[in-house]
Each structure stands twice: as C-alpha cells, then as structure tokens.
Structure 1
Amino acid sequence: MARRSDHNREELYALAIGAARQIVESDGIKALTARNVADVIGYSPGTLYNLFDNLDDLIVHLNGSTLDDLFDKVSALEQSGDPESDCKALLGSYLDYLNDHPGLWYALFDYAIPTTMTVPSWYVRKIERLMEILRVAIAPLYADTQMDETARAASVLWAGLHGITSLSNDGKLQLVSEDDVEDLASFLVTTFIAGIQSRARQ
C-alpha cells in the first residue's frame, strides 16, 4: 500500500530525485515516468505533482542535481594556473563522470526543456558556476580587462568538447575519426589554446 504521510516535503523531494536518478541510471531517460518514480518511492503518482509541476519539472530538478554532482567533481581539482594542464584535468574529470553516469549525462544534455517552460534561475546559476571553472582555467591567456573574450572562449571550448563527447556517447565518433574521445578532446584543448596564444603574439 502506498504511504501517505511517512515523510515531509523535503524528504519526499529527496526520495523522488533519488528514484528518478536510479531509473535513469539503470534504464535511461525514456523510462522516467511519474508512475515509475512513484512505484520506487512507494507513493501515489499524485504525490509527485505536489512536488513538481509535471514530468518536465521533475527532469529539470534531476538535471539540477546532476549539475551539482558535476560541479562537486570538477571543482575538487586544484588548478595550477597553466591553462592547458588545467583544461585537460577538467576534461579528464568530466569524461570520468560521463563514463560513470552515462544515463544522467544523456538526460542532462539530450533532454530539451520545452519552449513553453521557463528555465528556472537557479538552474541557470548552476550552469554558470560550472562555466566559471572553465573561465578560470583559461583566464591566464587573457588580460584582466578581457572578461568578455574569456567568457566567449570558454563557451566555444566547451561547445567543441561537448560536440566530441556527444558523438562518442551516441556511438558516432568513429564516423568522423579513428581516434578515441580522450585523444580528440585533448587535441582540441591543445590546438585551441595554441591558437589563442598565437593571436596574442600578433
């Protein structure tokens, strides 16, 4: 029998996110339904709609927790001040997370928030603090007054790395290269930073 009042709202929220994570990790984002989450936590599906507006809202909150996990992982790295070394260390940590949690990674980056749904400000902040780590890594390549250029470069580098990892995660990387994802991503970091340094010398 479904439980009705065993947990307060905060506890129910944690249970629901944990169940959603479990389902996505084991069976993928397509298996994530309100009924499946409710079955795992032992409550009725209606209880979930007291916590989340709809399934999309639940997925956004799940992805928010994944962003927290990613931030905790990459922010634990101590940056040396050498852009190439630091970017490659961040890349390695990021790829480790992808390999350990492919289902969560897929849900985070392949799920499209509906155009009718406003992206929560807290969600945007979680993304921004991740991007800030990359901006700090490449900041030594720019003058302190070039904040916009630094941010733009971080966005471009991130987009390139994401493209490589997405192709790899979808099993399509071999269509464009015989190199593995680590080698291609590392090469991108090296050439991207070399390009910035070359421009600075001109």
Structure 2
Amino acid sequence: MARRNQHSREELQALAIEAVRELVTEQGLEKLSVRKVAQRIGYTPGMLYHVFSNLDDLILQANARTLDELLGTMTYAADQPPRQALLAMAGAYLALARQHTALWKMVFMHRMNQQAPVPDWYLQRTRQLFARVEQQVARLGGDHDETQIHLAARTLWSSVHGMGVLAVEDKLTVAGEVDEQAMLASLFHHYLQSWAGEKTA
C-alpha cells in the first residue's frame, strides 16, 4: 500500500469503502465505526471526515458499491427474453443474499442517523434497479399502464426479497425441504403468465 500522503482523495475513498465492506463482513454492521475504518486503512478518523460527511455517508457509499455490482449483473441479464431475464435477475439477487449476506443485509438494515433524509444520489441507485425490472415486465406485453408496471415490479421484488430473508436465516426449510430455485421458477411462471394474459378493465 502506498504511503498515506500518496493517496489521492479518490483512492482514499476507495480504500475506506473497501474497508467498510470487509469490516461489516467480519464483524457486522452494528460494530462498524469511523475509527475502525480509519484504523483498517492506516488513517486518522479526522482524515476520513475530509472525504465523507459522516458514518452514514460512508455506509451509503459502500452500499452503492454493492448496488452497482447487482445492477451490472441485472444489466447483463437484460439481453435475454423478458421471462428469462427476470428470473436471472431474481437469481442474482438471491445469490447476493447467499454469498455476501453481510453486505446484502447492510443495504436494508442501515437507518440514517436521527432520521436524516436519504440523499437523492443514493435513491437514484435504487430507482435504476427497479427500472431494470420494470423494463422487463413491460416487455411481456398486455394492456398495462405505468402504475401497474410499477406495482408489478415491486410485488416481484418483495417476493424475491422475502425468499432471500428466509434463505439467509435458514428458514426456508421450516415447512420441509424446498428448492429455492424451484420456488423462484414457480413464482415467476404463475405471476408472469397471469400478468401477460391479463387485460385492464
């Protein structure tokens, strides 16, 4: 690693974000602090406050990295026919939950300090993810308006997210052995079959 005074602002930001991801994976979000991040990368906490507004900003930047990685996978899947694309996107979401559980949880567990508003740049990241799903739902056809497409995308996401929560908590097998991929296939087959064939009143 370069000496501290050899790191640019952008390099320091990248180092800190990676340290957040490592620390959360190792110790959990509840034990994260600016001091620990600074220690991990060999800087003082004060130096980090020249790059990040506060701990919330640092966490959001780390979450944005996770969302960007998921967005990249979803964008790659978008070239497939819509049903396959949606199933691939859902599979990528569950894979993130399974393989990088701590980072996945950090996206949803983090709450802004003192109920501060979530910055628009971060909200835009989540909008991009939902936009990918909405685009595929719209490609399925049927006489549906923008509001219905918006609702369908979030209904599918909520269902897949619920599977992710149960999977990482090892609760999918409470009612017996189950194949989560088969559950995904069943969900999307029946929901999308109804969606594509349904006409608005």
In the alignment, does 2:75 pair up with 1:61?
no
Output one character per residue of 1:162-191: Cα deviation in whole Å (capped at 9) or x when no partner.
Answer: 111112112222335531332222221122
Q: What letter matches 2:23 in structure 1?
A: I
Equivalences, count: 199
**Residues of 1 paired with 2:10 and 2:28: CA distance?**
25
Q: What letter matches 2:80 in structure 1?
A: S
**Residues of 2 paired with 1:115 and 1:199: CA distance?**
44
Q: Which residue is equivalent to 2:140?
A: 141
Q: CA deviation at 1:41?
A: 0.6
Q: CA deviation at 1:85?
A: 1.8
Give me the TM-score of the superposition, normalised by structure 1. Answer: 0.86
Q: What letter matches 1:56 in structure 2?
A: D
Stretch deviating more after TM superposition (148-157 or 110-119): 110-119
**Residues of 1 paired with 2:159 and 2:89: CA distance?**
14
Output one character per residue of 1:30-81: Cα deviation in whole Å (capped at 9) or x when no partner.
Answer: 3322121111110011222222222222111111111111111221224333
Q: Which residue is equivalent to 1:183?
A: 182
In the alignment, does 2:201 pair up with 1:194?
no
**Residues of 1 paired with 2:90 and 2:98: CA distance?**
12
Alignment of 1:44-59 (within 5 A): 44-59=44-59
Q: Which residue is equivalent to 2:13?
A: 13
**Residues of 2 paired with 1:156 and 1:177: CA distance?**
25
Output one character per residue of 1:68-110: Cα deviation in whole Å (capped at 9) or x when no partner.
Answer: 11111221224333x3222112122222233332221111122
**Residues of 2 paired with 1:176 and 1:191: CA distance?**
21
Output one character per residue of 1:95-137: Cα deviation in whole Å (capped at 9) or x when no partner.
Answer: 2233332221111122233462111111111111111111111
Stretch deviating more after TM superposition (160-169 or 86-95): 86-95
- Aligned residues: percent identity? 34
Q: CA deviation at 1:199?
A: 2.7
Give me the TM-score of the superposition, normalised by structure 2. Answer: 0.87
Structure 2 contact 24–32 (Cα < 8 Å) conserved = yes
Structure 2 contact 86–133 (Cα < 8 Å) conserved = yes
RMSD of aligned residue pairs (Cα, Å): 2.3
**Distance verdict in 2 for CA 1:194–1:44, change over 3 Å:** same
**Residues of 2 paired with 1:54 and 1:60: CA distance?**
10
**Residues of 1 paired with 2:35 and 2:23: CA distance?**
11
Q: Which residue is equivalent to 1:25?
A: 25
Deviation >4 Å, runs of 4+: none
